Homo-oligomer: A and B are copies of this chain.
């Protein structure tokens, strides 16, 4: 399983992906699911992936190799907007699945899905989810975050607190807490977490960090939050006496 989360904010983007890949009980590996296209001065493009690893790697690797090639159908260096980028990723996904599915289906699901985000000069940062069907939806101010993979455990804290105007650094806390909630409940989502805090108009991905087991900030955040949540629940008003508690 996988958990990938992307948040579109007034200040930029916060992206995070776990690294657990498991194909049955005897194969558990650590895999990077947050991929960046090669550096370019006028664009930052990130692709987060979930689903069949062979499919998602074929899509991402072929786009990485085509970057700067001049091949109009695949070269994300030539895309004029992030919407065009999302369309190219979806088209590659359809091609890979069409080529592989009849061979893969006897063994499992060949499908994959993606979060595609970043910024192209002249646009604000944008964030898309590419469905297995190859079509896509875009995050907006009203729906500022998108998730793929094991999405449910980590959603309530985002629903309660996150808005498009939440600052980058507070969003980073929420994103990590959303991952912590998921990892406590589902062992197939695991550390390390790749985290990119992208400030709009910076066109820099220098901030990409990997949160490993034992990371001091990760440990402090989780402990402080759990203690604070326990204290918060204790401080809430008790039920009416007639309810019998």
Interface residues of A, Cβ cutoff 8 Å to B: 152-157, 159-161, 167-174, 177, 181, 184-185, 195, 197-199, 206-207, 209, 217, 220-221, 224-226, 228-230, 232-240, 242-245
Contact = CB atoms under 8 A, between A and B. Distances in A.
B239 A217 contact: yes
Contact of A244 (B155, B206, B224, B235): B206
Q: How many copies does the complex hold?
A: 2
A71 B230 CA distance: 47
B172 A239 contact: yes
Most buried by B among A181, A195, A226, A243: A243
A233 B163 CA distance: 13
Contact of A209 (B171, B207, B224, B242): B242
B172 A159 contact: no
B197 A245 contact: yes
Contacts of A224: 236-237
Contacts of A244: 168, 197-199, 206-207
A206 B242 CA distance: 9
Query: Max chain B CB contacts within 10 Å: which of A174, A237, A244?
Result: A244
A36 to B, nearest CB: 14
Nearest to A240: B217
Contacts of A236: 173, 221, 224-225, 228
B153 A239 contact: no
10 contacts: A153-B155, A157-B229, A160-B181, A160-B226, A172-B238, A174-B233, A197-B244, A207-B244, A225-B233, A228-B232
